[in-house]
Amino acid sequence: MDKVKVAVIGPGNIGSDLMYKILRSRHLEMALMTGIIESEGIKRARGLGIKTSTAGVQAVLEDKDIKIVFDATGAKPHLQHAPLLKEAGKIAIDLTPAAVGPYVVPCVNLDQVKAEPNLNMVTCGGQATVPIVYAINRAAGARYAEIVACIASKSAGPGTRQNIDEFTQTTAKALTVVGGAQKGKAIIILNPAEPPIMMTNTVYVEVERPDEQAIRTSVEAMVKEIQSYVPGYQLRVPPLLDGNKVTTIIQVEGAGDFLPRYSGNLDIITSAAVAVAEKLAQKILAGEVAA
Amino acid sequence: MKNTKLIHVVDTTLRDGSHAVSHQFTAEQIAAIAGGLDAAGVEYIEVSHGDGLAGSSYNYGWALLSDEEMLRAAAGAIKNSNLTVLLLPGIGTQEDLEMAAHCGAKAVRVATHVTEADIGEQHIGMAKKLGMQAFGFLMMCHMAPPEKVVEQARLFESYGADFIYVADSAGAMLPEDVKARVGAVVEAVKVPVGFHAHNNLTMATANALAAVEAGAIFLDGACRGLGAGAGNAQTEALVGVLEKLGYQTGVDFYKIMDVAEDIVEPIMHRPQVVRNAPLMLGYAGVYSSFLLHTYRAAEKFNLDPRDILVELGRRRMVGGQEDMIVDVAYQLAHGKGGA
């Protein structure tokens, strides 16, 4: 076995984008796409020769060879799926705001990720900004981090819109828990401009030691790391110092796998989820993780 | 012919005016202004950081007081008026709204960009659950055609909003634009409709009257116009003008003039006049609260504030995107132009 079998639950936009990324992976095999109704996403997967089901999580539980499961449904369904997947010995990578397991931001804490039964991918804004906060914190100490994520209206689905408080709260928490800031705050703005704008994130950090050179070096190194799994991630404005306040602006252009390029917000979270699965798969294949 | 229709006045000196004092209102100032407005008979008194609950931040400016301190200072001075808060989903949350209700807020204006009403559904729902009056407040209405404004107003109505507002947040509309949008919304929804003006093109009072002619029965104002950009419609002037036209507001004209002159004017940081940059806000259609942030960025990057504003307008930035002022200034200063 040189690839680990994975499943995607939730054949919507995120699930479909995950599928294309998994199909390109050297370590993952796209074994199943499952939903609860016959849908465009199910048809799309079937058209690519992938096994599909409309039996939801049940189809995953019945296949003992599936080791890693991406959940791209919603917070409520994931709360039901999580214990079932855990009991079946499968690792869940949760792209919903359910936050059952610990937050993972690949370039920050992927190495610490053990075979937790459940890993949460925070939010798109968290994936884009937590690494910058982490990079600034390690160079200069972050007393406070505040981020403003601006997303094209077309790239914010009904799930995000109806639960916008969960975005701000989860992202703010990840700025501290994973980013290392002592306090965090997150703001999200939707912009309907046409053609759609690229995802833009502004990261403000109040630092303990305003050492511009150390901060720049740390941030630039981090940007390179992120680019290894999100090629469209770039600095628009490098860290600017104003007293103890550091302002950094980044832009995320999507890979355009299934979603349009302006959906960098969705691309960064699916890319991060696949990066996590690949890391776990390598561990499974090397026999480091019981599977 | 005299008109005896009632126009409900919402005074936002202590919310939109917060921008003009860089969110530095003291508890004493809040109590004095709120008490004065209450005694003058103003029906709704809006008190919040300029960018709404939880607006105090690097991005929008730190407030001197916490939201809770501001609301408690106002609540202690209000006897009859409805203490009102502003909440921008994406900045403030339902938790903030619960706190505000606990401090005595009776009404909330849930404000979204004119095309994004659906991000306010949960907050309108929470307001109703808390027994508050809920306003669906559509910002930057100049950026959308009347049909779109109607579609979004209907969404807010479907979530349970008691009132719908058309806001000219950039002070970019002319009376015909106001009539087209307000009139269309009045036709389309069953709930009362209001209008929030900015004076960037010196049209605030004229636009407020155009809104009333189109069927609006709620109007926003601020004493001395204190507000973002060139400020709002001037409450005391609105009251006088409406009275001349035969409308009732329930506001005592003399008393509201006194609040403006004796309490508000002495604490203003600068006269609320239409300088070049606010004029450019209206001309370019840029969110009024960008003004003071733009002055600072212009100074830091050695640019003409008008150039920054024109570029922000060209990029179609919306309310809340204050962070993009630095982005634009940086790109302009580094010769990257329209990135």
Query: Looking at the complex, does the CB of residue A151 fall below 8 Å from at least one CB of chain B?
Result: no
Q: Using CB atoms, which residue from A146, A150, A206 is nearest to B321?
A: A150
Question: For residue range B146-189, what is the model confidence (pLDDT) as tens digits?
Answer: 999 999 999 999 999 999 999 999 999 999 999 999 999 999 99
Examine the domain organization and report whether A66 and A150 are in the same domain: no
Q: Residue A202 and residue B316: Cβ atoms within 8 Å? A: no
Mean pLDDT (whole number) for B107-136: 98
C-alpha span between B231 and B238 (Å, rounded): 14
Domain assignment present for A291: no
Confidence at A115, pLDDT banded by 50, 70, 90: low
Mean pLDDT (whole number) for A156-185: 93
Examine the domain organization and report whether A172 and A243 are in the same domain: yes
Domain assignment present for A161: yes
Residue B232 has pLDDT above 80, yes or no: yes
Confidence at A56, pLDDT banded by 50, 70, 90: very high
Examine the domain organization and report whether A106 and A157 are in the same domain: no
Q: Which residue(s) pair with B87 in the sheet?
A: B110
Confidence at A1, pLDDT banded by 50, 70, 90: low
Examine the domain organization and report whether A73 and A136 are in the same domain: no
Q: Residue A202 and residue B115: Cβ atoms within 8 Å? A: no
Examine the domain organization and report whether A96 and A128 are in the same domain: no
Examine the domain organization and report whether A157 and A237 are in the same domain: yes
How far B289 CA sits from the closest chain A CA (Å)? 15
Examine the domain organization and report whether A26 and A75 are in the same domain: yes
Q: Residue A202 and residue B327: Cβ atoms within 8 Å? A: yes
Domain assignment present for A168: yes
Tell which A residues from 165 to 204 touch B, by Cβ distance under 8 Å: 165, 167-169, 185, 187-193, 197, 200, 202, 204
- Tell me if A249 sits within 8 A of A201, measured CB to CB: yes
Query: Looking at the complex, does the CB of residue A161 fall below 8 Å from at least one CB of chain B?
Result: yes
- The CATH number of residue A179's host domain is 3.30.360.10
Please give the pLDDT value at position A290.
62
Q: From B322, which residue of chain A is nearest by alpha-carbon distance?
A: A148
Query: Looking at the complex, does the CB of residue A253 fall below 8 Å from at least one CB of chain B?
Result: no
Question: For residue range A187-199, what is the model confidence (pLDDT) as tens digits?
Answer: 999 999 999 999 9
- Tell which wins on pLDDT, A114 or A217: A217
- The CATH number of residue A26's host domain is 3.40.50.720
Examine the domain organization and report whether A137 and A253 are in the same domain: yes
Query: Looking at the complex, does the CB of residue A163 fall below 8 Å from at least one CB of chain B?
Result: yes
Domain assignment present for A35: yes
SS3 B48: coil
Examine the domain organization and report whether A184 and A74 are in the same domain: no
Examine the domain organization and report whether A81 and A176 are in the same domain: no
- Tell me if A143 sits within 8 A of A183, measured CB to CB: yes
Confidence at B134, pLDDT banded by 50, 70, 90: very high
Interface test with B, best of A164, A169, A253 (most B CBs within 10 A): A164
Strand ranges (E), chain B: 8-14, 44-47, 82-87, 107-113, 133-139, 163-167, 193-196, 218-221
Please report, as a single letter, which amino acid is at residue A25: S
Q: Which domains does chain B have, with CATH numbers?
A: 8-265 (3.20.20.70), 289-333 (1.10.8.60)
Number of domains into which chain A is organized:
2
The domain containing residue A60 runs over which residues?
A: 4-121+269-285
Residue B339 has pLDDT above 70, yes or no: no
Domain assignment present for A90: yes
Examine the domain organization and report whether A135 and A244 are in the same domain: yes
Domain assignment present for A227: yes
